[in-house]
């Protein structure tokens, strides 16, 4: 039985163009180890982003992303409040995280996007590996393209240094944080 979820679609021949992220069909998330025994997952519910995709010349492609850090959600109001505090993101002073690409490369459906990630007042280069997961015209006539990607950063590189030592050794929050991107973008008319 074929359902709407797994029904085949016809790919768009050339996805080149200017795109806007579809926030309602995208997810920007992260994963951190808690007490070094389990993973805590979170996401940001409010963000904006644009992309220029040039299939013929991928290095001319670019991505700009802005995340409203006050929209962080981990499933725990107490933890979310702590993440917004001066111990971590300090959202009163630094309400946004931004990413601006500096280089884009492509090999088949694999895209490598390097850019400057700014958290608080610290900008550092990061490289994110993406897989193009599909392209199609949706029922409303929009050209959509999908990507999934991830990268791992050390949060201390961006001044996110709070931690607590555990009696058994180790720390409460891992330094390494995996960033996860599930992107649906709509080509601008």
Residue spans of the domains in the chain: they are 17-187
Separation of alpha carbons 135 and 144, rounded Å? 5
Q: Is the pLDDT of residue 164 over 90?
A: no
Reported as a single tens digit per residue, the pLDDT across 81-134 is: 988 988 888 999 999 999 999 999 999 999 999 999 999 999 999 999 999 999
CA neighbor of 185 nearest in space, from 15, 5, 2: 15
Q: Which of these, 183, 103, 99, 107, lies nearest to 148 by C-alpha position?
A: 183
Contact 73, 80 (CB under 8 A): yes
Residue 161, H or E segment: none
* pLDDT level of residue 28 (50, 70, 90 thresholds): very high
Q: Given this model, what pLDDT does residue 143 score?
A: 95
Percentage of the chain exceeding pLDDT 90: 69
Max Cα distance, the chain (Å): 58
Q: Is the pLDDT of residue 67 over 80?
A: yes
Mean pLDDT, residues 158-174 taken together: 57
Asked if residue 166 has pLDDT above 50, the reply is no
Contact between 64 and 53 under an 8 Å Cβ cutoff? The reply is no
Q: What's residue 34's pLDDT?
A: 62
pTM of the model: 0.87
What is the model's pLDDT at position 171?
Answer: 39
**CATH numeric code, 17-187:** 2.40.128.110
């Amino acid at each position: 039985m074929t359902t709407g979820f797994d029904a085949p679609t016809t790919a768009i021949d050339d996805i080149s163009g200017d795109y806007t992220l579809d926030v309602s069909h995208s997810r920007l998330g992260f994963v951190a180890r808690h007490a070094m025994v389990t993973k805590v997952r979170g996401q940001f519910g409010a963000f904006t982003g644009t992309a220029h995709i040039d299939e013929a010349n991928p290095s001319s492609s670019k991505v700009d992303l802005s995340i409203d850090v006050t929209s962080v959600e981990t499933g725990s109001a107490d933890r979310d409040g702590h993440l917004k505090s001066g111990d971590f993101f300090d959202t009163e002073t630094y309400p946004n995280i931004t990413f601006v690409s500096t280089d884009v490369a492509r090999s088949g459906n694999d895209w490598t996007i390097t850019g400057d990630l700014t958290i608080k007042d610290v900008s550092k280069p990061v490289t994110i590996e993406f897989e193009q997961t599909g392209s199609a015209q949706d029922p409303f006539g929009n050209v959509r393209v999908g990507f999934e990607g991830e990268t791992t950063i050390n949060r201390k590189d961006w001044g996110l240094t709070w931690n607590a030592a555990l009696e058994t050794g180790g720390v409460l929050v891992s330094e390494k944080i995996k960033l996860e991107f599930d992107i649906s973008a709509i080509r601008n008319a």
